[in-house]
Each structure stands twice: as C-alpha cells, then as structure tokens.
Amino acid sequence: MTARRRRMWLDSLIVLATILAAMALGAAVVAAARLVAHTLLVLVLAGVLAVLLNPLVARLQEQRASRALAVALVVVATLLLVAGLALALVRPLITQVGELSQALPGYVAAAREAAPVWQERLAQMGLRLDVDKVWPQVTSRLESVGLQVLSRLGDIVGQIGGAAADIVLVAVLTIYLMLDGPRLARGLRAWVPAPHRARYDEIARITSRLLGAYVRGQITLAFILGILAGVGTWLLGVPYAALIGLLAGLFELVPMVGPVLGAIPAVLLALLVSWRTALYVVIYFILIQQLEGHVLVPRVTGHAVGLRPSVAIVTLLGGFELAGLWGALFAVPAVGILSAVVGALWGPGAGDGSGPAPGAPEGGAGTAAAAGGPAPAGAAPGDERCGAAPTVGGTPS
C-alpha cells in the first residue's frame, strides 16, 4: 500500500470517527436536555420574550431614557396590552364554552336521530356502516373519557397551578434578562478569544435578527389568522365563532400543520349547522391558507427562517419526537437560524466583503448602532444606550 493510499484511508477513518463522535455528543446533549427540559423551556421562553421586547427598549433608550426606565415602560405597556386582550376575549369565550357544554347533549341526540339517514346515504354510495353497532362504542368511549377527566380533576387543577407559576417565572426572568442583557452579553463576549470576536458578533447579529423576525412574524400571523377565522365563520353562521378564532390563532403558531389543525374545529362546528355550511367553511379556510402563503407570509415574515418546505417538515417531526409540542414550535426557527449562521460564515461569498451576510442588518444610517458598532459621538464610555446589538440587551463591539 502506497503512502498516498494510507493517507486517504487515515483521512477517511478520521472523518468517520469525527462523525461518530458528533453523533454521540449530540445524543448525550439530547439526553441531558431531557433531564432539565422544564428548566430549559422556561429559559428559552424568557429569552425569546426578551429578544422580542428588546427593540422597544432600544427605541426608548434612543430617546435618552435609562435602561431601567425603558424596561419598566415596556413591561407596563405589555401588561396593559395582555390585560386588554384578556378582557376582550375571555368573557365571550367563557360564554361560548358554557353554551357549547350545555348544547352538547342536544347535538349528540340530533346526531343519533340523523344517523339512519346518513347510513342510508352511505349505503347508496356502496359504504356499509351499522350505526346500531357503532353508536354504543362511541357513547361508551365518550363516557370513559368523561370519567377519566373527572378522576384526574385534581391533577388538572395542579397542572393549571403549575402553568400559572411558570408564567410568573417566565415574566420575572424576562425582566431580568432585559435589565441585565448588556452585562450578560459583555461577560459572554469576554470569554471569546479576541481573533474570533468579529465572527461572534456576526453570529449574534444574525441570530437576534432572525429570531426576532420569526417570533414577531408568527405572532402577527396568528393574530391576523385568528381574526379572519373568527369573523369569517361568524359571517357564515357557524356558532362559537370567537372560540374558533382563538383556536385558529393558537394553532397558527405550530409551523406547517397549524393552519390545517385550526380548520378542524371550525368544520366540525359547521357540521352542526349543515353540510353545506361545512363545505363553505372548508372553502373559506382554503382561501385563508392561500392568502397566508402567497400574501401574508412574504409580507409579514419575509421568509425569515428560509427553510425549504421538505426540510421544515422533517425538522418539525424531529422536534415533536424530541420535545413534543414545544419541540415542534422551536425546532423550525432553531434549524433555520443555524442554517443562516452557517451559510453566512462559511457559505459562498462569506467574509469576502461582497455584501452583508444573510440575515445581517443592511447598511444605512444606524447600522453601526444596530449591529453593535462604535457608539455615536458624545456617548460616554460604557453607556448602555449606545452601540448595543439587537440581542437580549445588546452585544457590544
């Protein structure tokens, strides 16, 4: 065996060993993350909220407000907004949920009476369905589900209390992250070797920009889609339109499959009116999804994450397998940000000065301040109002 061939075999073995080591490290990280999944989730949610609200804090700092005052004003404004939305939505939602629970037995009885008609229609289409055999199974299943819910009522109340405590904890951590963001960023940056700090700053800028754009875009889309779903089903005569709008908005936060999940409750409730109304609802939700895909998403989010649909679906499934619903919510933006960072740092044209990296702020007035560049003239050394990058409080240059 020649020296060149031995060198090729050695390089191949090194590559294989590196891949196996990376896979083992990834498995170890996933296993460790599962042990502290709840704590990580709280930290991630607090970090996302801090990144989402930090641009408002930066705007107030540009008006010569101290960071503490800016954070206080943003927190108060956010609480007022949440309280206003709760007052506007909670009352009709409680009313409609109560009406639905009272009307549910009547709907079940009506479905039982209409079952022979549907059985006859299905038989005409060549489909055999024995309602007398299927109906007892359905009712027994519903009764068992109801008994399970009642038996676990104490656990459900405990879970609600735990969720409320988590919400308070996330809110407190978000405030601390916004207040101490610059100090944390400076401390983290100090650990980076000096030759690599420019690359670190670029990664921080891209990550902050893409994460903020994705979160703001998803919340805006959820709000718009919820309004469209609620108003549209109300105009079509579907009952419990406010509940439909809320569910459609919440499901919109789930990437890729959220719009389909949001349409299912609307179609089921429309069937309580008539099959024609259900058909109109299906057509309406198809139109909403077309409007979302061709008009709203390009304008609201600008394809902030930039993943191909096939990659996004695989990422969504992988995130769901690893961490359930929360994994599905965060897997797509995480992989998208990682892809953008890798492409900006090591992709074609990276570092050749040909233009801004993908996801990086474009040039123009204020770019230096937005990207953590030099502070404006007249700023005192260490002034946190100047030269802060759009991370969780800013990454100084």
Tokens of 126: 């060549």
pLDDT of res. 344 = 66
More confident: 268 or 136: 268
Confidence bin at 309 (pLDDT 50/70/90):
low
Q: What is the tens place of the pLDDT at every residue in 12-29?
A: 888 888 888 888 887 777
Mean pLDDT of 96-102: 73
DSSP class of residue 294 equals I
pLDDT in tens, 182-235: 888 888 888 888 888 888 888 888 887 777 777 788 888 888 999 999 999 999
Scanning 152-196, the segments in alpha helix (DSSP H) are 153-190
Strands (E), the chain: none
Task: Name the residue with higher pLDDT: 172 or 324.
Answer: 172
d(CA 388, CA 145): 54
What is the number of alpha carbons within 13 Å of residue 195 lying toward its C-beta? 0
When pLDDT is cut at 50, 70 and 90, the band that residue 303 belongs to is low
Q: What is the largest CA-CA distance in the chain?
A: 85
Model confidence at 70: pLDDT above 80: yes
Is residue 311 over pLDDT 50?
A: yes
Q: Name the token pair of 236.
A: 């079509």
Q: What is the C-alpha to C-alpha distance for residues 15 and 198, in angstroms, rounded to an integer?
A: 29
Residue type, 149: V
User: How much is the pLDDT for 390?
Assistant: 40
DSSP per-residue string spanning 301-321: T-SSS---HHHHHHHHHHHHH
Mean confidence (pLDDT) of the chain: 74
| Amino acid in the structure at residue 275 | W
Residues 123, 56: Cα–Cα separation, whole Å: 62
Cβ atoms of 369 and 389 closer than 8 Å: no
Name the more confident of 194 and 108: 194
pLDDT of the residue at 67: 87
pLDDT tens-digit map of 360-378:
433 333 333 333 333 443 3
Cα-based distances in Å from 292 to 52, 91, 198, 219, 330:
22, 29, 38, 13, 20
**Its pTM surpasses 0.85:** no
d(CA 387, CA 19): 40
382 vs 158, higher pLDDT: 158
Q: Which of 119-128, 149-158, 327-336, 362-371 has the highest mean pLDDT?
A: 327-336
Helical spans, DSSP H, in 191-308? 197-235, 241-252, 258-271, 275-291, 297-300
The percent of residues above 90 in pLDDT, for the chain, comes to 7
CA distance 142 to 109: 14
What is the distance between the alpha carbons of residues 186 and 111, in angstroms, rounded to a whole number? Answer: 64
Least confident piece of the model among 171-185, 218-232, 320-334: 320-334
As a whole number of angstroms, the distance between CA 102 and CA 108 comes to: 11
d(CA 223, CA 88): 14
Instruction: Find which of 73-77, 301-305, 336-340, 342-346 is predicted with most confidence, using mean pLDDT.
Output: 73-77
CB contact set of 42 (below 8 Å; sequence gap of 6+) = 166, 169, 170, 173
